Structure 1
Amino acid sequence: MPRMNKVWSWAFGAGALLALCAPSAFAADCKVGISIKQLDAPYFAELMEAAKKEAKAKGCEVLTADAQGKVMKQISDIEDMLSRNIDLLVMDPAGPDGLVQVTREAASDGVKTVVVDSSINKAAKYVTVVQSNNKKNGELVGRWIVNKMGDKPLRIALISGAKGNPVGRVRRESVLSGIAQAQKEKYGKKNYTIVGHGWGNWTQQGGLNAMEDILTANKNVNLLVSENDSMALGARRAIKAQGLTDQITIAAAADGQKQALQLIKEGKYGVTGLNAPDLIAKKGVDIGLKAIHGQLPKNFPKTSYTPPVAITKSNVDKYYNPNSAF
C-alpha cells in the first residue's frame, strides 16, 4: 500500500480509530525497521533480539539489518527499509554524524526514528535517544572503586571501545570523574594515573589484545577500567595469563553481562554499570510506537534513560539472571 494511502487510512478509518483505543493499539498495520550497528558482541545481539521481540509482541511486522560496524552499509540498509514502507525506525548508529541525512530522509517519508544505545548528532531527525545513564553509571562505578581501593595511588589500564564514539567517551570520562571526585572528598586530592590506553572495539578479543599490549609495557597496573563488560572479560584473560588477578581490580563502566555478573558473585570481578539491552530495546520500541500514533507529549525529552546502577557483589543477585541471553 502506498505510504500516503496508509496514513490516510489510519487517520480517518473507523477501524483504525478503534484500534488506537484498544490495549493492542499497535497491532494493526505497523512495520518496524531495526538497524543495529554490529552484532558481533553479545550486547548488540541481545539489543536486536529484544527489539524484535517487543515489536512482534505488539503485532508489528519487523525488518532487521546488521550494519557490521559500517556507516555506509547502515545507510544503505535503512534506505532499503524506507523503500519497503516502514513506519518506525529503531536504530543503533554506527557513527554519530554519518546517519544524520538518512534520519532526515526517514522524517520526510513520515517515518519516526528512535535511537537506542548510542548517541547521534543533534542535527538528526529523531524522537528520542534511549540509553542507560552513562554519566551517572560511570560516576557510581568510580566512587565504588575509591571505596574499594582506598587511598592507594591508582595505576589504570583504560580500554575504550571505538575512536570517536560519544557513548564510550562519556563512559570513560564519567568513571574517571567519579574516581577524582571521591578521592578529593575522602583524601583531599586526585590520585590516579592512566598508565596505558587501548582500543578494544567493544569485543572480548579486542579487550584481550588491548590488555596484552598494555601489560607488555606496564606491569604495575592495579586497576582496569573498561567501557563495557565484553572488553573487560577479554582483558581478564590477559590478566590471568600474567598471574595478576590478585593485583588488578576489574571495573567496567557499563553493561551487566551475565558472565561478568557471575564473576562479580564469585568475587573475581569488581563492578559494572547497569546497561541492560532488553530494557533499552523495549523502551525504545514502545516510545516509537507511541510516536507513530501521536501518543507522546508535545515536549517529549530528546534523551530517555534507564535507571543508573553500579552492580557489585552487594547487589548482584538483584540483576543476575542465569537464563539471560546476554
Structure 2
Amino acid sequence: MTRTTGLGLLASAAAMVMVASGAHAACLIGMSNYTLAAPYFAAQDAEAHKKGAAEGCKVISANGQNDMTKQISDIEDMVSRHVDLLLVNARDPEGLVPAVKAAVAAGVKVVAVDSGLDPKAGYITLVQSSNTQNGLLVGRWLANKMGSTPMKIALLSGDKGNIVGQERRDGVFAGIVEGQLAGQGHVNFTVVGQGWGGWNQQGGMTAMEDLLTAHPDINVVIGENDSMVLGAQRALEQHKRDTGVTFVAAADGQKQAIKLIEDGKYGATGRNDPTLVIDTAIDVGMKALHGTLPKDFPKTDYTKPVAITKANASQYYKSDAVF
C-alpha cells in the first residue's frame, strides 16, 4: 500500500493539474522517484511538476515505493509513453542500469538526480548536492563546537547499502578528523552505535530509543538526513535526555531543522535543497533537448556545498517551503 502524506497529496494534485492542462505541452517530462515516503522526495516530486509547467511541459511522475522492480516498471512505462526527458532518483545504482540504458537507446534524455547511478547507464549527468563536501563542512563545524569534549556519537543511517548515506557519513567523519587534528592535534571521538532509521522521523525516533537504552551517555547525534535527526530529538526529549546533546545532519536543510538551528536547539545541517536539485536537473535536460548543452558537460553536477548553522540559517529558512 502506498503511503500518502500531505506532501504526497500536494505532489499528486500538481500531477493532476499538469495532466489536465498538458494537451498542448511542448514536451513530456517523467519523474521516477524511488520513494515518496520521506518529505524530501515528496518535495522533489512537487518541484518537478512546478518547474516542468514553467517550461511549458507536461509532467508525469511515479512513486517506486522503495521497490526496485516497481521503479524499473515505472521507467519502462514512461518510455512507452514517449517521455522526452526522464529524471531518475535511483533505488539502486546498478539495478536500474538496464532500464535507463533502454530509455537512452529509445532517444530519451535522462538526468539522474540525488542518488548515485552507474555511469554506464548512459545518462547525461547526475545532479546532486556534494554529500562528501557538505559532510566535511558539518563535521568540521561539529569538531569546533565540541572542542576538547570527547564525543560519544549515535549515528543514524538511512538504509543498508545506500551509497548516498555512506558518502554522507564518511564526509562528516572526515570533517571531524580534520577539525580535531587542526584544533587539538589528535582525534577523540567514539561512535557508540549505528541505528537504521529508514530516512524518516519515526524510524529515527525508534533507532534513537534503541541506541539510548544501550548507551545513555550519548552527547552527539549525527544523522544522514534531517528527518531522522528530528525523530531522534523527539525521542531524547521524551526521555528528558536532550539537554547537553548536539544534533547535526549531513544533509538536507529541512525547514523544521533550520528553524531549530535559528532557535539554538539544533547544531548544523548540510544544504541539500530538493528545489535546487530538480530545477538544475530540468534546466540541464531542457538544454539537452534543445541541443544547447555543452558536449563536455560534467558527468556529475554538484550544487554548492553549505553547512547551515546558526550563523547563516536566516539565509536559508523559508516558512512557505514544501520541505
Compute the TM-score of the two structures, normalised by the length of structure 1.
0.90
Deviations 1:193-230 (A, max 9, x none): 10010111100011011101100100111100000000
1:215-261 deviations in Å (ceiling 9; x for gaps): 01001111000000000000111111221211210000001111111
CA distance in 2, matches of 1:103, 1:125: 7
2:58 to 57, 61, 69: 61
Write the mapping of 1:23-172 to structure 2, written as runs, cut at 5 A: 29-172=26-169
What is the CA RMSD across the aligned residues, in angstroms? 1.0
- Aligned-partner SS, 1:232: helix
> Which amino acid counterpart does residue 244 of structure 2 have in structure 1?
Q
1:3-30 deviation line (CA, Å, top 9, x unaligned):
xxxxxxxxxxxxxxxxxxxxxxxx9631
Letter in 2 for 1:72: T
Q: Percent identity?
A: 52
After superposing on structure 2, the runs of 4+ consecutive aligned residues of structure 1 that deviate more than 3 Å are none
Per the alignment, residue 232 of structure 1 pairs with 229
SS of residue paired to 1:54: helix
Matches within 5 A, 1:282-321: 282-321=279-318
SS in 2 for 1:254: strand
Q: Which runs of 5+ in 2 are unaligned?
A: 1-23
1:292 Cα offset (Å): 1.9
Shift of 1:49: 0.7
Structure 1: which amino acid aligns with 2:161? G
Q: 2:196 aligns with which of 185, 194, 199?
A: 199
Is the aligned partner of 1:211 residue 2:208? yes
SS of residue paired to 2:32? strand
SS of 1:123's equivalent?
helix
Name the structure 2 match of 1:220. 217
Letter in 1 for 2:156: I
Aligned counterpart, 1:323? 320
Match of 2:13 in 1: none
1:267 aligns with 2:254: no
What is the Cα deviation at residue 133 of structure 1?
1.3
Give the corresponding residue for 2:177.
180
Match of 1:258 in 2: 255
The whole-number CA distance in structure 2 between the counterparts of 1:261 and 1:107 is: 39
Distance 1:255 1:33 in 2: 24
Q: In 1, distance between residues paired with 2:120 and 2:245?
A: 42
Distance across 2 between alignment mates of 1:320 and 1:38: 25
Residues 144-180 of structure 1 show CA distances to partners (whole Å, capped at 9, x for unaligned) of 1011111111110000111111111000000000001
* CA shift digits 1:65-84 (9 cap, x unpaired): 00011110000011011001
Q: How high is the TM-score relative to the length of structure 2?
A: 0.91
- 8 Å CA contact 2:25–2:58 kept in 1: the answer is no
Segments of structure 1 that go 5 or more residues without pairing to the other structure are 1-26
d(CA) in 2 for partners of 1:254, 1:57: 28
Gap change, CA 1:28 and 1:42, over 3 Å in 2: closer
Structure 1 residue 186, shift from structure 2 partner: 1.1
Q: CA deviation at 1:53?
A: 0.8
